[in-house]
Amino acid sequence: MGDEVFDPGRVAFDFIDAIAGMTDQRAVVECMSAEFAKFGFRAWVITGLPVCGERMEEMMLLNGWDPAWSSHYFKNNLIKDDPVGAHCFRSIGPFEWKEAPYDADMWPEAQKIMNAAADVGMLHGLCVPIHTSAGFQSVVSMAGMHVDLSPHAKRALHLMSIYAHDKAASVVRRPRGSNPGVLTKREKEVLSWTVAGKSAWEISRILGISEATVTSHLRATARKFDTPNRVATVVAALRRGEISL
Protein backbone atom coordinates (compact mmCIF):
# COMPACT_ATOMS: atom_id res chain seq x y z
CA MET A 1 0.00 0.00 0.00
CA GLY A 2 2.83 2.38 0.85
CA ASP A 3 4.16 2.16 -2.72
CA GLU A 4 0.81 3.01 -4.28
CA VAL A 5 1.05 6.06 -6.55
CA PHE A 6 -1.75 8.62 -6.42
CA ASP A 7 -3.31 8.87 -9.87
CA PRO A 8 -5.59 11.95 -10.22
CA GLY A 9 -6.99 10.70 -13.52
CA ARG A 10 -8.01 7.37 -12.05
CA VAL A 11 -9.60 9.14 -9.08
CA ALA A 12 -11.58 11.36 -11.46
CA PHE A 13 -12.99 8.48 -13.50
CA ASP A 14 -13.77 6.45 -10.38
CA PHE A 15 -15.62 9.48 -9.01
CA ILE A 16 -17.66 9.87 -12.20
CA ASP A 17 -18.61 6.20 -12.06
CA ALA A 18 -19.48 6.44 -8.36
CA ILE A 19 -21.93 9.34 -8.66
CA ALA A 20 -23.49 8.27 -11.95
CA GLY A 21 -26.34 6.32 -10.39
CA MET A 22 -26.78 8.33 -7.20
CA THR A 23 -30.13 9.96 -6.50
CA ASP A 24 -29.84 10.76 -2.80
CA GLN A 25 -28.54 14.25 -2.07
CA ARG A 26 -26.80 13.31 1.17
CA ALA A 27 -24.96 10.42 -0.49
CA VAL A 28 -23.80 12.76 -3.27
CA VAL A 29 -22.49 15.32 -0.76
CA GLU A 30 -20.63 12.63 1.19
CA CYS A 31 -19.09 11.23 -1.99
CA MET A 32 -17.97 14.63 -3.21
CA SER A 33 -16.47 15.50 0.17
CA ALA A 34 -14.52 12.22 0.26
CA GLU A 35 -13.22 12.51 -3.30
CA PHE A 36 -12.24 16.19 -3.18
CA ALA A 37 -10.47 15.44 0.12
CA LYS A 38 -8.12 13.08 -1.75
CA PHE A 39 -6.64 16.21 -3.32
CA GLY A 40 -6.51 18.02 0.04
CA PHE A 41 -9.70 20.04 -0.37
CA ARG A 42 -11.75 20.08 2.84
CA ALA A 43 -14.38 22.62 1.78
CA TRP A 44 -16.33 22.94 -1.45
CA VAL A 45 -19.49 24.45 -2.84
CA ILE A 46 -21.56 24.19 -6.03
CA THR A 47 -23.66 27.28 -6.55
CA GLY A 48 -25.11 29.78 -8.94
CA LEU A 49 -23.64 33.26 -8.90
CA PRO A 50 -25.92 36.11 -7.82
CA VAL A 51 -26.39 39.27 -9.83
CA CYS A 52 -28.37 42.46 -9.30
CA GLY A 53 -28.52 42.27 -5.51
CA GLU A 54 -29.46 38.58 -5.26
CA ARG A 55 -28.11 36.45 -2.42
CA MET A 56 -25.99 33.39 -3.00
CA GLU A 57 -27.86 31.13 -0.57
CA GLU A 58 -30.89 31.39 -2.86
CA MET A 59 -28.83 29.96 -5.72
CA MET A 60 -27.01 27.23 -3.83
CA LEU A 61 -27.04 23.74 -5.31
CA LEU A 62 -24.85 21.73 -2.90
CA ASN A 63 -22.92 23.06 0.09
CA GLY A 64 -19.80 21.34 1.39
CA TRP A 65 -18.59 24.28 3.47
CA ASP A 66 -18.13 24.17 7.23
CA PRO A 67 -21.53 25.19 8.70
CA ALA A 68 -19.99 28.02 10.75
CA TRP A 69 -18.29 29.54 7.69
CA SER A 70 -21.40 29.04 5.60
CA SER A 71 -23.53 30.86 8.20
CA HIS A 72 -21.02 33.71 8.47
CA TYR A 73 -20.72 34.04 4.69
CA PHE A 74 -24.46 34.16 4.08
CA LYS A 75 -25.35 36.31 7.10
CA ASN A 76 -22.90 39.00 6.03
CA ASN A 77 -23.54 38.56 2.28
CA LEU A 78 -19.81 38.24 1.65
CA ILE A 79 -20.28 37.30 -1.99
CA LYS A 80 -20.59 41.00 -2.84
CA ASP A 81 -16.92 41.52 -1.96
CA ASP A 82 -15.55 38.08 -2.78
CA PRO A 83 -12.83 38.48 -5.45
CA VAL A 84 -13.02 34.79 -6.36
CA GLY A 85 -16.73 35.05 -7.12
CA ALA A 86 -16.14 38.23 -9.12
CA HIS A 87 -13.42 36.57 -11.20
CA CYS A 88 -15.78 33.74 -12.18
CA PHE A 89 -17.61 36.18 -14.45
CA ARG A 90 -14.35 36.93 -16.25
CA SER A 91 -12.90 33.43 -16.53
CA ILE A 92 -13.97 30.57 -18.76
CA GLY A 93 -11.51 28.00 -17.46
CA PRO A 94 -10.51 26.85 -13.95
CA PHE A 95 -8.33 29.17 -11.89
CA GLU A 96 -6.65 29.14 -8.51
CA TRP A 97 -8.03 31.52 -5.91
CA LYS A 98 -4.74 33.39 -5.84
CA GLU A 99 -5.23 34.20 -9.52
CA ALA A 100 -8.37 36.25 -8.81
CA PRO A 101 -7.04 39.82 -9.08
CA TYR A 102 -7.85 42.61 -6.64
CA ASP A 103 -6.12 45.61 -5.12
CA ALA A 104 -6.09 45.24 -1.34
CA ASP A 105 -5.78 49.01 -0.89
CA MET A 106 -8.65 49.79 -3.23
CA TRP A 107 -10.79 46.84 -2.13
CA PRO A 108 -10.00 46.15 1.56
CA GLU A 109 -13.17 44.09 2.06
CA ALA A 110 -11.90 41.56 -0.47
CA GLN A 111 -8.66 41.19 1.49
CA LYS A 112 -10.64 40.66 4.71
CA ILE A 113 -12.65 37.86 3.12
CA MET A 114 -9.56 36.07 1.84
CA ASN A 115 -7.86 36.41 5.24
CA ALA A 116 -10.95 35.10 7.01
CA ALA A 117 -11.15 32.14 4.65
CA ALA A 118 -7.49 31.30 5.33
CA ASP A 119 -8.15 31.50 9.07
CA VAL A 120 -10.76 28.72 8.80
CA GLY A 121 -8.54 26.42 6.73
CA MET A 122 -9.31 27.67 3.23
CA LEU A 123 -5.91 29.05 2.31
CA HIS A 124 -5.62 27.65 -1.21
CA GLY A 125 -8.51 27.15 -3.59
CA LEU A 126 -9.52 26.11 -7.06
CA CYS A 127 -12.53 27.51 -8.87
CA VAL A 128 -14.21 25.91 -11.89
CA PRO A 129 -16.77 28.19 -13.60
CA ILE A 130 -19.56 26.26 -15.31
CA HIS A 131 -20.93 27.83 -18.49
CA THR A 132 -23.69 26.84 -20.86
CA SER A 133 -24.52 28.20 -24.29
CA ALA A 134 -27.25 30.28 -22.66
CA GLY A 135 -24.74 32.05 -20.49
CA PHE A 136 -26.11 30.46 -17.32
CA GLN A 137 -23.27 30.45 -14.85
CA SER A 138 -22.55 28.32 -11.82
CA VAL A 139 -19.32 27.52 -10.06
CA VAL A 140 -17.64 24.61 -8.34
CA SER A 141 -15.23 26.04 -5.78
CA MET A 142 -13.03 24.05 -3.41
CA ALA A 143 -10.42 24.96 -0.81
CA GLY A 144 -8.03 23.60 1.79
CA MET A 145 -4.69 24.15 3.51
CA HIS A 146 -2.46 21.57 1.82
CA VAL A 147 -3.84 20.84 -1.62
CA ASP A 148 -2.67 19.23 -4.86
CA LEU A 149 -2.74 21.86 -7.58
CA SER A 150 -0.38 20.15 -9.98
CA PRO A 151 -1.37 20.37 -13.66
CA HIS A 152 -2.51 16.72 -13.66
CA ALA A 153 -4.60 17.26 -10.54
CA LYS A 154 -6.18 20.42 -11.97
CA ARG A 155 -7.25 18.59 -15.11
CA ALA A 156 -8.77 15.81 -13.05
CA LEU A 157 -10.60 18.26 -10.77
CA HIS A 158 -11.89 20.18 -13.79
CA LEU A 159 -13.45 16.99 -15.15
CA MET A 160 -14.82 16.01 -11.73
CA SER A 161 -16.37 19.46 -11.29
CA ILE A 162 -18.27 19.28 -14.56
CA TYR A 163 -19.84 15.97 -13.56
CA ALA A 164 -20.33 17.14 -9.96
CA HIS A 165 -22.29 20.17 -11.15
CA ASP A 166 -24.45 18.06 -13.43
CA LYS A 167 -25.22 15.66 -10.58
CA ALA A 168 -25.88 18.53 -8.16
CA ALA A 169 -28.46 20.03 -10.50
CA SER A 170 -30.23 16.66 -10.75
CA VAL A 171 -30.42 15.80 -7.03
CA VAL A 172 -31.16 19.14 -5.38
CA ARG A 173 -34.43 18.83 -3.54
CA ARG A 174 -37.18 21.38 -3.78
CA PRO A 175 -37.21 23.87 -0.91
CA ARG A 176 -39.70 23.07 1.82
CA GLY A 177 -43.03 24.72 1.31
CA SER A 178 -42.47 25.25 -2.39
CA ASN A 179 -45.30 24.53 -4.77
CA PRO A 180 -44.20 21.65 -7.04
CA GLY A 181 -45.15 21.76 -10.68
CA VAL A 182 -46.01 25.46 -10.78
CA LEU A 183 -44.96 25.93 -14.40
CA THR A 184 -47.18 25.13 -17.34
CA LYS A 185 -45.99 22.75 -20.05
CA ARG A 186 -45.37 25.69 -22.38
CA GLU A 187 -43.43 27.64 -19.74
CA LYS A 188 -41.19 24.61 -19.19
CA GLU A 189 -40.60 24.34 -22.92
CA VAL A 190 -39.63 28.00 -23.18
CA LEU A 191 -37.24 27.74 -20.23
CA SER A 192 -35.71 24.53 -21.53
CA TRP A 193 -34.96 26.13 -24.89
CA THR A 194 -33.56 29.14 -23.01
CA VAL A 195 -31.12 26.85 -21.20
CA ALA A 196 -30.20 25.40 -24.60
CA GLY A 197 -29.03 28.86 -25.65
CA LYS A 198 -31.92 29.88 -27.88
CA SER A 199 -33.07 33.48 -28.14
CA ALA A 200 -36.69 34.50 -27.73
CA TRP A 201 -37.01 34.80 -31.52
CA GLU A 202 -35.50 31.34 -32.08
CA ILE A 203 -37.79 29.81 -29.45
CA SER A 204 -40.80 31.41 -31.14
CA ARG A 205 -39.85 29.74 -34.42
CA ILE A 206 -39.27 26.35 -32.75
CA LEU A 207 -42.56 26.37 -30.82
CA GLY A 208 -44.64 28.08 -33.49
CA ILE A 209 -45.64 31.01 -31.29
CA SER A 210 -44.90 34.72 -31.42
CA GLU A 211 -41.78 36.24 -29.92
CA ALA A 212 -44.01 38.37 -27.70
CA THR A 213 -45.65 35.20 -26.36
CA VAL A 214 -42.23 33.73 -25.56
CA THR A 215 -41.31 36.88 -23.65
CA SER A 216 -44.65 36.73 -21.85
CA HIS A 217 -43.97 33.15 -20.72
CA LEU A 218 -40.53 34.15 -19.44
CA ARG A 219 -42.05 37.00 -17.47
CA ALA A 220 -44.72 34.69 -16.07
CA THR A 221 -42.13 32.20 -14.82
CA ALA A 222 -40.14 35.02 -13.23
CA ARG A 223 -43.27 36.19 -11.39
CA LYS A 224 -44.01 32.66 -10.15
CA PHE A 225 -40.50 32.28 -8.74
CA ASP A 226 -40.18 35.95 -7.74
CA THR A 227 -36.88 36.20 -9.61
CA PRO A 228 -35.40 39.42 -11.05
CA ASN A 229 -33.92 38.12 -14.31
CA ARG A 230 -33.68 35.21 -16.71
CA VAL A 231 -30.61 33.63 -15.12
CA ALA A 232 -32.20 33.60 -11.67
CA THR A 233 -35.39 32.14 -13.15
CA VAL A 234 -33.45 29.29 -14.74
CA VAL A 235 -31.69 28.57 -11.43
CA ALA A 236 -35.01 28.54 -9.57
CA ALA A 237 -36.55 26.17 -12.12
CA LEU A 238 -33.55 23.83 -11.87
CA ARG A 239 -33.65 23.84 -8.07
CA ARG A 240 -37.35 22.94 -8.09
CA GLY A 241 -36.94 20.19 -10.65
CA GLU A 242 -39.18 21.96 -13.18
CA ILE A 243 -36.52 21.66 -15.89
CA SER A 244 -33.17 19.92 -16.24
CA LEU A 245 -29.87 20.68 -17.98
pLDDT tens for residues 106-126?
999 999 999 999 999 999 999
Greater confidence (174 vs 232) lies with 232
pTM: 0.73
> pLDDT at position 60, please?
87
Q: What value does the mean pLDDT take over residues 11-25?
A: 94
CB-based burial, 141-174: b 16+ in 10 Å, e otherwise: bbbbeebbbeeebbebbebbbebbbbbbbbbbee
> pLDDT at position 182, please?
81
> pLDDT at position 175, please?
47
Q: What value does the mean pLDDT take over residues 214-233?
A: 83
158 SS3 class: helix
pLDDT band at 8 (very low <50, low <70, confident <90, very high): very high
pLDDT band at 227 (very low <50, low <70, confident <90, very high): confident
Q: Of the ranges 34-38, 68-72, 216-220, 225-229, which one carries the lowest mean pLDDT score?
A: 225-229
pLDDT band at 177 (very low <50, low <70, confident <90, very high): very low
Whole-number average pLDDT of the chain: 88
- Read off the amino acid at residue 160: M
pLDDT band at 1 (very low <50, low <70, confident <90, very high): very low
The pLDDT of residue 30 is above 80? yes
Boundaries of CATH 3.30.450.80 in the chain? Answer: 8-171
Neighbouring-strand partners of residue 128? 140
- Domain spanning 8-171 has what CATH number? 3.30.450.80
Q: Are strands 137-144 and 124-131 parallel, antiparallel or unpaired?
A: antiparallel
> pLDDT at position 69, please?
96
Boundaries of CATH 1.10.10.10 in the chain? Answer: 185-239
> pLDDT at position 153, please?
97
Domain 185-239 has CATH 3.30.70.20: no
Give the best-scoring range by mean pLDDT among 51-60, 141-150, 188-197, 225-234.
141-150
Q: Rounded CA gap, 166 and 94, in Å?
A: 16
Neighbouring-strand partners of residue 44? 142
